Amino acid sequence: MRMTTLCYIEKDNNYLMLHRIKKENDENKDKWIGIGGHFEEGESPQDCLLREVKEETNLDLLSYTPRGFITFVSDEWGTEYMHLFTADSFTGKIGECNEGELCWIDKSKVYDLPIWEGDKIFFRLLETSQEYFFLKLEYQGSQLVQAVLNSQPISLI
């Protein structure tokens, strides 16, 4: 069981995305994801968020919003519990990331990138809802086989 945070930093209708191309044995290899990572001992979700954003981008968040809680179940990687955030205010200058390449991506273009199928579901939720949501995504290998939003199964078609 793993606890993580993930944040989509927003600016001028773009998300700051991380193209995961540098880490060995990376379950997100070659995928585009938001900014985040694993909790360290004693951290709250906010502590983890702020530390991970600083480590991966060199930015300090000034304003962020918790958007959802996502449970990933995988036959290959185990279970992960992720706190999802968006952020719209920060200070600092983007630095180098040892996990991949950081790029500002137009929100309308994120679906064209190699992203996880489940990420497409929570991108739609970020676009259409301001309510906090609970999402469970089940994968077999890299195939999304089930999605449940707020205790209700949703169609994968």
Specify the pLDDT at position 49. Answer: 98
Instruction: Give the per-residue pLDDT at 28.
Output: 79
Within the chain, strands assigned E span 2-11, 14-19, 32-33, 35-38, 60-74, 78-91, 101-106, 133-140, 143-149, 152-153
Q: State the pLDDT at residue 82.
A: 97
pLDDT 10s digits, 101-137: 999 999 999 999 999 999 999 899 999 988 999 999 9
Tell me, what's the pLDDT at 14?
Answer: 97
Kindly give, in sequence order, each residue whose CB lies less than 8 Å from that of residue 65, ignoring residues fewer than 6 positions away.
Answer: 85, 86, 87, 88
For the chain, residues with pLDDT lower than 50 are none
pLDDT at 157 (0 to 100): 66
Percent of the chain with pLDDT over 90: 84
Domain that holds residue 60: 2-153
pTM of the model: 0.93
The domain tally of the chain equals 1
Q: How much is the pLDDT for 77?
A: 87
What phi-psi label fits residue 29: left (phi over 0), alpha (psi between -120 and 50 degrees) or beta?
beta
Whichever domain contains 21, its CATH number is 3.90.79.10
pLDDT of 64 reads 97
